[in-house]
Structure 1
Amino acid sequence: MPATPSPLHVDPLVWGHGPRVFEAFLEPTCPFSVRAFNKLPDLLARAGEDRITIRLRLQSQPWHMFSGIIIRCILAASTLEGGRDTARAVMAAVAAHREEFEFTDHCAGPNMNATPNDIIKRIEHYSGVKLAAAFAVPELQKAIKWQCKYSRQNGIHVSPTFMVDGLIDPAISSGDTVEAWMERIFA
């Protein structure tokens, strides 16, 4: 009897285990989301893993033309060895080279000639993570759809958006300091 394939495990993009839950809805190539993403490790370190749970949510934005492909790459990375940390490394690589994944004025420039395979290869190059096989797993679609549904159910339409304990906090901005975030989160 052939072995039953094990179900795809998409590692949740969650760090910390504290009672206060901070959710960041980010689009990987959005400059404001990148600014927020880069602050998350500092927030976790300052707040402490026993005081805060940080959940990273991926919020696709149609004006960032490769958004869906890049989000699929990040979620694919979460299925590989290292799980969430591999996914974070992929997102960090995209953030560090975001212009390589964007269009000029969201509609022009050299990326007009890029294919999805070109984007995957760039992400692999910058991150050092081999993603193509994981990207091609059909079951990964469930995780992508879950991210979209969760955002819609919570009234999230743009990135970055932040939730504290299940409530959107429009006063939290990517331009705020980590200290300002902590004042809002732990108020």
Structure 2
Amino acid sequence: MALQPSLSPLIVAGNGNAPHTLEVYLDFVCPYSAKMSRTIDSVITPLISSGGKYDCKVKVIFRPQIQPWHASSMLTHEAALAALRASPDQFWTFSRLLFDHQEEFFDRQCLNLTIQQIRDKLTDLASQVLSPGKVDEFRDLLTMKGTPNGGIPVTDDLKYNLKIARHNSIHVSPTALWNGLVASEVSSSWAEKEWNEFFASKI
């Protein structure tokens, strides 16, 4: 449940001071993760937000889960972390946009594209939700600087999230943790009924 302060926008739903934590490991090019991201917005958030049945009792942390067998997974997660840095209040909006456009970054669609071309596509997508000045910052955060093999400005954030996933032995997406322990019963196919039952049994 640890979360370094600079990554606090990874709390995507609920009250940040809520006593219970639901962590959800999602990959931007995983169809089941996209389904779960929609559930966070349509089902979980109304239940745990102001006026909801579990108001102030649960917060949701989105955990980037890079799946290396998808060639563009790392690049999409870099882009999300760049959006987090450039415009923290638009992080989840951009993340949802990535999920909604994930097919554009599937293996076949990116087969003949260079890394730079994919980053350019991601920047075009970011321009739909970020202001022009923030888009420039976003683009800069995806630009190689320094040593030939030193990565980009958000590489350290990427490493942090990779280490968290490895530390918790997370292998598949989506994976949910409740108060730090894997909740293997959670499914991306759950609707309001199942989430109500889950929260009722845990809180």
Matched, 1:133 2:140: yes
TM-superposed deviation, 1:111: 1.6
**Distance across 1 between alignment mates of 2:20 and 2:8:** 21
Between structures 1 and 2, the one with greater helix share = 2
Aligned pair partner of 1:92 in 86, 93, 96: 96
Number of residues of Structure 1 aligned to a counterpart in Structure 2: 173
TM-superposed deviation, 1:28: 0.6
Q: Is the 1:12–1:78 Cα contact (8 Å) retained in structure 2?
A: yes
Q: Which deviates more, 49-58 or 126-135?
A: 126-135
| Cα distance change of structure 1 residues 186 and 115 upon mapping to structure 2, 3 Å threshold | farther
Matched, 1:121 2:120: yes
Aligned pair partner of 1:13 in 5, 10, 13: 10
TM-score normalised per structure 2 = 0.78
The amino acid that maps onto 2:39 is K
Q: Is the 1:90–1:127 Cα contact (8 Å) retained in structure 2?
A: yes
Matched, 1:164 2:178: yes
Identity of aligned residues (%): 25
Cα RMSD for the two superposed structures? 2.0
| Cα distance change of structure 1 residues 135 and 182 upon mapping to structure 2, 3 Å threshold | farther
1:121 counterpart SS class: helix
**Distance across 2 between alignment mates of 1:169 and 1:152:** 17
Aligned pair partner of 1:73 in 79, 95, 117: 79
2:140 counterpart SS class: helix
**Distance across 2 between alignment mates of 1:169 and 1:62:** 23
Q: How does 1:168-179 map to 2 (within 5 A)?
A: 168-179=182-193
1:57 counterpart SS class: strand
- Uncovered stretches (5+) of structure 1, i.e. residues with no partner: 1-8, 104-108
**Distance across 1 between alignment mates of 2:166 and 2:198:** 23
Match of 2:149 in 1: none
Matched, 1:34 2:48: no
